[in-house]
A and B are shown apart, each in its own frame.
Chain A
Amino acid sequence: MTNTAHLLQLSSIGKQFGGLSALSDVSLHIQHREIYGLIGPNGAGKTTLFNVITGLYQPSAGEFQFDGKSYQTCKPHVLAKAGIARTFQNIRLFANLTALENVMIGRHVRTRAGVFGALLHDRTTRNEERAITERARELLYYVGIEKPARTLAKHLSYGEQRRLEIARALATDPLLLALDEPAAGMNATETASLKTLLQTIRNSGITVLLIEHDVKLIMGLCDRVAVLDYGKKIAEGVPEEVRKDPAVIAAYLGAEPEAHTSGFAPLASLSPLAGEDPGERVVDNV
Chain B
Amino acid sequence: MKLNSKSKSLLVALAIGLLLIPFVTDTLLGRGWVRIVDFAMLYIMLALGLNIVVGFAGLLDLGYIAFFGVGAYCYALAGSPHLALAFPMIFPNGVHLSFWVILPLAALLAGGFGVLLGAPTLRLRGDYLAIVTLGFGEIIRIFLNNLNAPVNLTNGPQGISRIDPVSLADVRLSVTQEIFGISLPSVHLYFYLFLAFTVLVIFASQRLEKSRIGRAWMAIREDEVAASAMGINTRNLKLLAFAMGAMFGGASGALFAGFQGFVSPESFSLMESIMVLCMVVLGGMGNIAGVILGGVLLAVLPEVLRHSVVPLQQALFGKMIVDPESLRMLLFGGALIVMMLYRPAGLLPSRVRRRELDTDEVVETV
Q: Which chain A residues have a beta carbon within 8 Å of chain B's beta carbons?
A: 54-56, 75-77, 80-81, 85-86, 88, 92-98, 100-101, 104-109, 111-115, 117-119, 121, 125, 128-130, 132-133, 148-152, 155, 168-169, 172
Q: A97 to B207, Cβ gap below 8 A?
A: no
Provided the pairs A88-B226, A148-B361 are in contact, do residues A115 and B213 lie with their beta carbons within 8 angstroms? yes
Q: Chain B: interface secondary structure?
A: helix
> Contacts A76-B228, A98-B352, A115-B244: A132 and B212 contacting too (C-beta < 8 A)?
yes
Extra contacts besides A56-B228, A85-B230, A133-B364 (6): CB < 8 Å: A54-B229, A76-B229, A77-B231, A92-B223, A150-B359, A151-B356
Of the A-B pairs whose beta carbons lie under 8 Å apart in the complex, a sample of 18, sorted by A's number, is: A56-B228, A75-B233, A77-B228, A77-B231, A77-B232, A97-B222, A104-B215, A105-B216, A105-B219, A108-B230, A108-B232, A109-B230, A118-B211, A119-B208, A130-B366, A132-B212, A150-B359, A152-B356
CB contact between B230 and one of A80, A95, A113, A150 (< 8 Å): that residue: A80
Q: Is the CB of A148 within 8 A of B359?
A: yes
| Total inter-chain residue pairs, C-beta < 8 Å | 124
Known: A77-B231, A149-B361. A97 touches B211 (CB 8 A): no
Judge whether A172 and B230 touch: CB under 8 Å: yes
Contact B218 A150 (CB under 8 A): no
The distance in angstroms between the C-alpha atoms of A149 and B230, with both chains bound, is 19
Task: Provide the bound-state CA to CA distance between A113 and B211, in Å.
Answer: 8
User: 3 closest A-B pairs (Cβ-Cβ)?
Assistant: A109-B231, A80-B231, A118-B211
When the two chains form their complex, are residues A106 and B230 in contact, meaning their CB atoms are under 8 A apart? yes
**Residue of A92, A151, A169 touching B225 (CB-CB under 8 A):** A92
Contacts of A111 in B (CB 8 A): 212
CA distance A101 to B226 in the complex (A): 14
Among the listed B214, B218, B231, which residue makes an inter-chain contact with A118, where contact means beta carbons less than 8 Å apart?
B214
Whether B364 lies near A100 (C-beta < 8 A) is yes
User: Which residues from chain B contact A96 at a C-beta distance below 8 Å?
Assistant: 222, 352-353
Using CB atoms, name the residue of chain B closest to A110: B231
- Residue of A75, A88, A121 touching B207 (CB-CB under 8 A): A121
Assuming the A-B contacts A105-B215, A105-B232, A106-B230, are A150 and B361 also in contact, with contact meaning beta carbons closer than 8 angstroms in the complex? yes
C-alpha gap A263/B228 in the complex (Å): 30
Q: Which residues of A contact B234 (CB under 8 A)?
A: 77
The distance in angstroms between the C-alpha atoms of A149 and B240, with both chains bound, is 29
Q: Cα distance A63–B144 when bound, in Å?
A: 51
B297 close to A (CB within 8 Å): no
A149 proximity list for chain B (CB < 8 A): 361, 364
B204 at the interface (CB under 8 A from A): yes
**Complex: how many Å from CA A55 to CA B234?**
13
Scoring B212, B229, B234, B366 by chain A CB atoms within 10 A of each residue's CB, the highest score goes to B229
